[in-house]
Each structure stands twice: as C-alpha cells, then as structure tokens.
Amino acid sequence: MLNFTQANTILNMFLYLRLLSESFAFAMNALTNNKLRTFLSLLGVTIGIFSIIAVLAAVDSLDHKIKKDLSKVDKNTMYLKRFSFAPTDIPRWKVQQFPNVKYEEYQYLKNNVTSVQTMAYQMFAPSINIKYEDKSATGVNAKPSSYEIADIESVEIEDGRFYNEAESNSGSAVVVIGYEIAQTLFGSSNPIGKKIRMYGQRFTVIGVLKKQGAASMGMPSNDTSVMLPVNFLRRLYGDNNTSFTPIILIKPLKGADPEASKAEVTQKLRNFRGIKAGEDSNFMIDILSSFTDFIDQIVGVLNLVGWVISGFSLLVGGFGIANIMFVSVKERTGIIGIQKSLGAKNRFILMQFLFEAVILSLIGGAIGILMVWGGGTIITKAFDFEFILSAGNILLGTGLSVGIGLISGILPAISAARLDPVEAIRSGM
C-alpha cells in the first residue's frame, strides 16, 4: 500500500506530465493558428542557434583538420630557418637581413648535434607545371627535400617507393607524385617508371603518395604535390636563387626535452656562424607544439567572435519568444481565469506558460541545428572537407534553446500566474 506522501508524489508526477502535454498542445496550436507571427518569432531563435552552432562547428572542424594534418609529424619537431611561423618580438627589418640556412649547415648539425634523431633539408619552392606526353598538371606544389623528410613527415606511399639516401645525395632525377597528379597525368595506368617533364628536365616517377584529402590553413595538400631530391635543384639553380627558401627540419630523439635539443642546435649553429656571446642569433627555431598552441589561440578568438556576433541574433530571438508569449497570455486570459477558479495554483499557470515558451524555443533551435547539419553535409561532399557537428555542439544548441525559452517566457508566465481569476474571466468575456 502506498502512503500519503508516495501517492501525492505520483499524483504530482501525472499532473506535470499532463501539464507538459497541454503546454505542447498549446504551443502547436499557436504555431498552426498564427503561422506568420510564429514564423517571425522563431526566426530569431533559428538564426541565432544556426549562427552559433555553425561557427563553433566550423571552427571545430578546421581545428580538427589542422591537428589531423599535423598529427603525422612529431609535435616536438623543430623548424630552423631565417623567419618565424609565429609572431616574434624581433623587428621585421632585422629578420629580413638574416641569411638563409645552408646545406653545409644542415650537414654540420646532422653530424654534430647529439640530441636529435634525424634532420632534413627542404626548400620552399614556387609552384610548377608538369607534363606527360600530351597531358599536363598546372600549379603543382613542389617539395624538394632530402631523403629524411619521409621519416619526419611520416610520408605514406600508395604505390612504388620513396627516394633513398644515395638518390637524395646525388640529386637524381627521380620524383614521388601526389595522388591527384597521378590521376591527372596517368589516369588508371601505372605511373611507376614513367618519365614526366618539369624544370625543363625529365624525371622518373618512382612513387605515388597516398591520398590525403584537402589540406588546411592554406597549406597545399600532398595530393597536388611532388617530392624530389633537393640536391637536384641545388645543382640546377645553385644555393643563392631567391625563388627558393631553404629550411631545416629537426626531429628530436624520442623522449628528449625539445627545449634542450633546441638549445643545443642553437649553440652549435651560433658556433658554426661565428656569432659571439651577447650577440643576437640571426636565425629562428620554431617547435611545432608552439605552432599548435598559436593555432589554439586563434581558434579561441574565432569562437569568441562567433559568440559575440551570434549573441545579437539570440537576443532578437528571445524578444520574439517573449512577444509571442505575452500575446498568448492576453489571448487566453479567460481560460486562465477559469483554470484558477477551478483550483489551479499559480505555479501550475506559471509552469504551463514556461513549458510553452521552452517548446517554441526548442522548435526554433532544432530547425537551426538541422540547417547546420544539412549545410555541413553539403560542404563535406562538395569540398572534400570533413565538417563535424559534434554531440557537444548539438547539446549546446539544445541547452541554449531551453535557456532562451526560460528567460523569454518567465515574465509572461509570471504575469499570467498573477492574474486575478474574476478579472481574468471578465476580461476574457
């Protein structure tokens, strides 16, 4: 047998379930009977939720893509060059006077630094055109590098192989091409062993890179890139060609302190260049983890901007919900009077209108989330970019919708709960 307290609890539960059901019915009735008014009221919530979730999902997707692209490279990898990827306190005019790193410096550091696993010498080069018989590929990203780059960047080969140490050192005319380049020039035929023409020379294709997909942050994808021995271009153009910017990539020993490795490289290169104690170094060393921290800061700023801009849409949406609720209270004044005269308590009336406001807001939020999902699906298929709408963002959108409904509906609900039953019935008549 149930005691009085348990029976009262169950009765209240059924009461609130019925309250929820009636509020949902009232909300749907408001939607169907006042379509234009409801549409205009929900438009603000829909746009606000869409804006915030779209911005957050886009930023999350971009962040995920960048981290995925960089995941193949050890986060402690260092980049030695004349400039810095991240902001620096050194004046720009001074950085412009720094000399480029030399191939001889790469050889010296590789043989004398003890705290690194391997190093690679690479050049940033202008895009090129490639030809094979009557077919051509334009705007191809060239990545002239020493053979160690395959280990540092964890290069994945779909077919064939990467060039070896002997081919790298001698500057052999061999090339590893990206997936899209292979499709453009060779279609379904096997490109391995075929001769392509670039830099006015013939190169033998020895490998095809595994498909990567679209890259991020404006970086070229390996799909539209070719990798060749850096010494071939050094032999062809020399070391002082201003079209090429050299860089040394350094992979520390596993478990080694990256800052200690950076300090050793710094000291060795200062000695090699004859930089005296107290003089500033004329080169830059960036650690990849610092670059990812910089990206995280950018992501944080983008999220903040998205919240600020979208917040105005949410504010408009809140006013729209409040407006429709005040109108709903006025239209149902007589019904509220009858309910109160039959014993309905103030909290019952209050919860009824709050539920209705939340339901209306949830409908607007759901439409906004569905719009983000639909747009993300189109972007993913059209641009080969994985647009991620996470469960966290969906829950955030739902929570925001509930919050907007509660905040916007509280004043109309209080005004409804405080109505005098006699005056309410008289006004309703």
Q: What is the pLDDT of residues 211-237, one digit of tens each?
A: 877 655 556 678 889 999 999 999 999
pLDDT tens sequence across 266-289: 999 999 999 888 888 888 888 876
Q: How far is CA 235 from the centre of its chain?
A: 41
pLDDT tens sequence across 201-210: 999 999 999 9
Sheet strands (E) in 153-269:
157-160, 174-177, 195-198, 201-209, 225-229, 245-252
Average pLDDT over the chain reads 81
pLDDT band at 290 (very low <50, low <70, confident <90, very high): low
For residue 318, pLDDT beyond 70: yes
Report the DSSP pairing between strands 135-145 and 128-132.
Answer: antiparallel
pLDDT tens sequence across 378-422: 877 777 667 778 788 788 888 888 888 888 778 877 777 777 766
The first and second tokens of residue 66, run together, are 């960048």
The first and second tokens of residue 277, run together, are 């104690």
The residue among 318, 276, 275, 303 whose CA lies nearest residue 392 is 303
pLDDT tens sequence across 325-352: 777 777 667 777 776 676 667 777 777 7
Report the DSSP pairing between strands 225-229 and 135-145.
Answer: parallel
The residue among 33, 13, 35, 17 whose CA lies nearest residue 332 is 33
Burial 36-73 (b: 16+ CB within 10 A, else e): eebeebbbbbbbbbbbbbbbbbbbbbbbebbeebbeee
The residue among 57, 51, 59, 50 whose CA lies nearest residue 297 is 59
Q: Is 209 exposed, middle or buried (0-12, 13-18, 19+ CB in 10 A)?
A: buried
Question: Structure pTM?
Answer: 0.62
